[in-house]
Amino acid sequence: MSLYEWAVSPFADYGFMRRALAGTCALALGGAPLGVFLVLRRMSLMGDAMSHAILPGVAAGFLAAGLSLGAMMLGGVVTGLAVALLAALVARMTPLREDASFAAFYLISLGLGVLLVSLRGSNMDLLHVLFGTVLGLDDAALLLVTGTASLTLLVLAALYRLLAAECLDPGFLRACGGRGAWVHMGFLVLVVVNLVAGFQVLGTLMVVGMMMLPAAAARFWAVSAARQAPLAAAIGVAASVAGLLASYHYNVPASPAIILAAGACYVCSIAAGPQGGLLRARRGAPARFRRGE
Amino acid sequence: MTAASVACGPSASARRAAAEPAAIALDDASFGWHGRAVLEHVSGRFAPGSLTAVAGPNGAGKSTLLKGIMGVLRPWSGAVRIGGAGRAGLSWLPQACELDRAFPVTVLDLVAMGAWRRVGAWRRYGRDELDRCMAVLEQVGLAHLAGRGADTLSGGQMQRALFARMLVQDAPVLLLDEPFAAVDSHTAQRLMSLLRRLHEEGRTVVAVMHDLDMIREDFPQCVLLSGRVVAWGDTAGVLTEANLKTARHWHAEAWA
């Protein structure tokens, strides 16, 4: 088998493979740069929590209107944002830290979501919602995920300086009249919308992997956020291609294969990345000891 | 034109400051965090063009006072009035521990953030802004580190970078929260002489200070805090043994 037959033919010959590739690449291009900011803002776990939080909304949409994309989408956005707001409120009004209150809310959401889907749907439906249908994307799902990615990149470009300044020194930004809290909310909305758009592709449980794993890997290769973002997107695209090919040739489920491919990139980056990777760090002094003049 | 005169020669805003000076007045203002009062019943006025130190024991409300003036913290009661250009005329040097040291930006990026009020979230950083940033970095002795990651700076270098960021703001009023923390005495003297020059240009300077000797030497005015105002006025009249004892006494009561 030539390289062409192995790597290109599956996509050239089968429409569902091309659709899967387009869907996962769009998800990577929009989601991975968001993930870079989630990592920089120390909100990695929050992304995870949000991905669970959208589940009951998606399930409620499914209960109300069957496998209707619009209803599931609306439900997901509503519950995702509701959990984000509730967790922030609880963190502000009680001694519980924000990460703990997020964990509490997303576990409740997960339980509620699985219960709701099982009420009406079959186990197959549950599996679709949880793990996605990357090899069975229809036009509507594909348009949704590509449209979301395009919009995300535009908004991210517009908000980039505000986001960076708000991460770096929120107090100073506020003192200069910058709208820090407003940007934070806008960013959360972007994360939720991307997770909801992506659940058809990789499922609510796995979609966050396409956000976090490439971003965490990129952190080991580039210093500035401006370089990490495109790098993360590229890693996400590479993982999509690799995962889909593995799924095709070895007959394994596609969405876990894609996430595992991204995970492999992450593990390699931990080992070999020039910015704090283990192998490089051993040769020279670790980055944190190279301070001072 | 030398690099120094770009930023420290009387710039447009400094000349404005001299022409229409801004006063900061507090009228029975009280501030607190998380339901606990930190600083109560502050009344007083920072005269335009004055050079004032804010002194007091730890937890006396020194940083709180600056945050209240900056508008980052709203007063529970009473009022804070800012004359002249209002809050747009204030520049701020917060404590270094309040920013995310791990966030990947270069020293130049960090310092350029000082131009936020002029550039904002969307406008381009023009040649003049970048020149100003570099000139200011030159003044604090960090020009050679402009392209380095801010996370590689030592504590003292970070303090100088924050000082530079405040200079980039180029405002008629300067509020500094422990500007000389973590810097060696030589650097402190250098930054202090920069501060004196800014004061001589007609700008209003308010600095939270720990070193009483330095206050006596360099600051004509002083506010002594300990949960309330202990004394406010000429430094010699404020930093008396009796006032310092009162401050310690109130502080011990509040933490007992």
Cβ–Cβ gap B99/A169 under 8 Å? yes
Residue numbers in B near A293 (CB within 8 A): 154, 157
What are residue B204's phi and psi, to 5 degrees? -90, 130
Question: Can you give the pLDDT at residue A44?
Answer: 81
Stretch B215-241: mean pLDDT, rounded?
A: 93
Q: Does domain A3-203 have CATH number 1.10.3470.10?
A: yes
Number of domains comprising chain B: 1
pLDDT at B54 over 60: yes
pLDDT band at B18 (very low <50, low <70, confident <90, very high): very low
Mutation pick from A37, A43, A168 vs chain B, by most beta carbons of B within 10 Å, is A168
SS (H, E, C) chain A: CCHHHHHCHHHHHCHHHHHHHHHHHHHHHHHHHHHHHHHHCCCHHHHHHHHHHHHHHHHHHHHHHCCCHHHHHHHHHHHHHHHHHHHHHHHHHCCCCHHHHHHHHHHHHHHHHHHHHHHHCCHHHHHHHHHCCHHHCCHHHHHHHHHHHHHHHHHHHHHHHHHHHHHHCHHHHHHCCCCHHHHHHHHHHHHHHHHHHHHHHHCCCCHHHHHHHHHHHHCCCCCCHHHHHHHHHHHHHHHHHHHHHHHHHHCCCHHHHHHHHHHHHHHHHHHHCCCCCHHHHHHCCCHHHCCCC
- According to the model, what pLDDT value does residue A109 have? 87
DSSP summary character for residue B2? -
Whether the per-residue pLDDT at B208 is higher than 90: the answer is yes
Quick one: what percent of chain A has pLDDT higher than 70?
A: 95
Q: Is residue A31 within 8 Å of A235, Cβ to Cβ?
A: no
User: What pTM value is reported for the model?
Assistant: 0.81
* pLDDT band per the 50, 70, 90 thresholds, residue A265: very high
Domain extent for B45: 3-255
ipTM for this prediction: 0.78
**Orientation angle between helical segments A69-93 and A139-168, nearest 10 degrees:** 20
Q: pLDDT tens across A167-218, in order?
A: 888 888 888 887 777 888 888 889 999 998 888 899 888 899 999 999 999 9
Q: Which comes out higher in pLDDT, residue A14 or A132?
A: A14
End-to-end, the C-alpha distance of chain A in Å comes to 57
pLDDT per residue as tens digits for the range A124-153: 777 787 888 888 888 888 999 999 999 999
Check A290 against B90: CB less than 8 A apart.
Answer: no
Q: What is the pLDDT of residue B255?
A: 67
Interchain CB distance below 8 Å, A40 and B157: no
Summarised one tens digit per residue, pLDDT across range A24-67 is 999 999 999 999 999 988 888 888 888 888 888 888 887 887 76
Domain residues of chain A, as ranges?
3-203
CATH at residue B11: 3.40.50.300
B173 torsion bin: left (phi>0), alpha (psi -120 to 50), beta (else): beta
Tokens 């509701």 correspond to: A82
Residue B232 has pLDDT above 70, yes or no: yes
